[in-house]
Amino acid sequence: MKTEILRQNQRSWNTVAAHFNGVDALPSFGPFAQTDDELQLFESIQDKKVLDIGCGSGHSLAYMAEQGAAELWGVDFSENQIERASETLQGLQANLHCAAMEEDIDLPRNYFDIVYSIYAIGWTTDLKETLNLIYSYLKPGGYFLFSWDHPLYAHLQSDQGHISLNGSYQEEGMTRYENFKGEDAPVAIPKRKFSTYLNSLIQAGFMIEEVVETDVPNQQKNSETEVSDRYYSLYKAQKFPTTMIIKARKEN
Ligand SMILES: C[S@@+](CC[C@H](N)C(=O)[O-])C[C@H]1O[C@@H](n2cnc3c(N)ncnc32)[C@H](O)[C@@H]1O
């Protein structure tokens, strides 16, 4: 069942890849959220071996290269995204793997200084296995930093600016959508509670170092904003975090 969902999501990501060229890429952590220029969650990237989980079009890896990373590695299950990433990273030495993040593809163990994931980890059909793998890729002392939709954000609906709860935050599990980005591309996205992410990290062996529920960037904090009922809007983001960011370390 999980494999079926994985394959369907993979086909759909191949269909929608063009919509995401450079979207949700570092230094951005997510829509209407502070960037790493403001949050400074990555320590020095200079000479670090980095692995991007769900690397998409490769723009975050390009950012890592600009910051002086020693080795660039990326995993994404969409062939189209990997092709785009190869184009984005042309001229750079990058190890790109077309594979699901929940699959063991024999990436080096105890090797990476930084494993990160920008708006991709929540797609995994097996959070436990994915976090166990990520933990195994990291050197002792290395860290995993990821961003994803704030788990409550997906439950917020807005009607003329009045925000209310849609469905139940208590119910975890797959939500199916027939269309993705307006394309005939059915996807299933797991809904998980905030505590599920935190507890899964702890169970994988991580030490949670920092948790951020994002705010809008400083320069947009007090700006007058038009009421908007769009899924992502500055109006909503000024009231509720769009994104959670978690930094977790594999201890020495
Ligand atoms: C919003 S994009 C990420 C953007 C990217 N992090 C960047 O920095 O440009 C989400 C990515 O996750 C990938 N993805 C979704 N589920 C996945 C899975 N189970 N295993 C590997 N990649 C997956 C998609 O193919 C897509 O490229």
What would the mean pLDDT of 176-203 be, rounded to a whole number?
Answer: 96
What spacing in Å lies between the alpha carbon of 101 and ligand 1's midpoint?
9
Task: Report if residue 87 sits inside a domain.
Answer: yes
Contact (Cβ atoms closer than 8 angstroms) between residue 54 and residue 101: yes
Identify the CATH number of the domain in which residue 242 sits: 3.40.50.150
- Of 2, 4, 36, 55, which is best to mutate to test ligand 1, by the most ligand atoms within 8 angstroms of its C-beta? 55
Task: Report if residue 27 sits inside a domain.
Answer: no
Answer yes or no: is the C-beta of 80 below 6 A from any ligand 1 atom.
no
Answer yes or no: is the C-beta of 124 below 6 A from any ligand 1 atom.
yes
Q: In sequence order, which residues have a C-beta less than 8 Å from that of residue 71 and are 6 or more positions away?
A: 49, 50, 93, 95
Amino acid at 81: Q
Helix H or strand E encompassing 127 = helix 127-137
Task: Report if residue 26 sits inside a domain.
Answer: no
Q: How many distinct structural domains can be found in the chain?
A: 1
Task: Report if residue 91 sits inside a domain.
Answer: yes
Task: Report if residue 35 sits inside a domain.
Answer: no
Give the structural domain span for 150. 2-19+44-249
What spacing in Å lies between the alpha carbon of 121 and ligand 1's midpoint?
8
Q: What pLDDT does 217 receive?
A: 94
Residue nearest to atom 15 of ligand 1 (CA): 123
DSSP 17-83: GGGGTTTT-TTB-STT--BHHHH--S---TT-EEEEET-TTSHHHHHHHHTT-SEEEEEES-HHHHH
- pLDDT tens-digit map of 132-174: 999 999 999 999 999 999 999 989 999 999 999 999 999 999 9
Amino acid at 121: I
Distance between CA atoms of residues 51 and 62, nearest Å: 12
How large a percentage of the chain has pLDDT more than 90?
91
pLDDT tops 70 at residue 14: yes
Distance between CA atoms of residues 13 and 57, nearest Å: 12
What spacing in Å lies between the alpha carbon of 186 and ligand 1's midpoint?
16
Q: Omega before 151 cis (within 30°)?
A: no
Q: What pLDDT does 105 receive?
A: 97
What would the mean pLDDT of 166-190 be, rounded to a whole number?
Answer: 94
pLDDT tops 90 at residue 122: yes
- pLDDT tens-digit map of 61-99: 999 999 999 999 999 999 999 999 999 999 999 999 999
What spacing in Å lies between the alpha carbon of 225 and ligand 1's midpoint?
31
